[in-house]
Structure 1
Amino acid sequence: MKGDFNALINGDKPVLVDFHAEWCGPCKAQGPIISDLAKAVGGKVRIIKIDIDKNQAVAQRYQVRGVPTLALFKAGQIVWRQSGVQSKSQLMTVINQNT
């Protein structure tokens, strides 16, 4: 997974990463917001979900302590990061500021 993740976040397109867990209630609330967002932004950004239990090395590398944690990567660097459920409008603003 680690190599794939590095390739993803170092691509030409910004990548919004949703660090989540199956057992996390707020993560379940964030899911439909992320789906709506994906439709709204189209090909502007890539959106990927990372299960922190299945990808512990990636979660540790980015010091994900709470879920959901969303992070926007651009050219391999985090340009924005926030824990907790984010609204579609908040996420649209962040994406528009960084694309």
Structure 2
Amino acid sequence: MVTDEQTISKSQADKAGKILRNHVTDEALQALSNWRAMHAQPLSVAYKLLKQKAKILNKGAILSQRLKRTPSITAKLQRYLEMKLSRMQDIGTAVPSKIC
């Protein structure tokens, strides 16, 4: 569960992303950590729903979920100079590894 102190706005996330693109600061890393944490609960809900639906199709379905790692996020920000952290679509992922 994310506390109010951990919640950051999209503009705060984008500001941290700009900083992390050029150099790493403790403040920007903390903002990124909070941004990732804000995606954990919605990801968990999506994963549980996907798991329920997948089990209907195949009881042996294997699913996985993950939050993108911090080094991967910073590398992506450095690769795509126009990328805003708030618009990065793959912070959290839930996928079926095997359904059939």
- TM-score with structure 1 setting the length: 0.31
Q: Tell which structure's C-alpha radius of gyration is larger.
A: 2
More strand by share: 1
TM-score, normalised on structure 2?
0.31
Larger relative helix fraction: 2
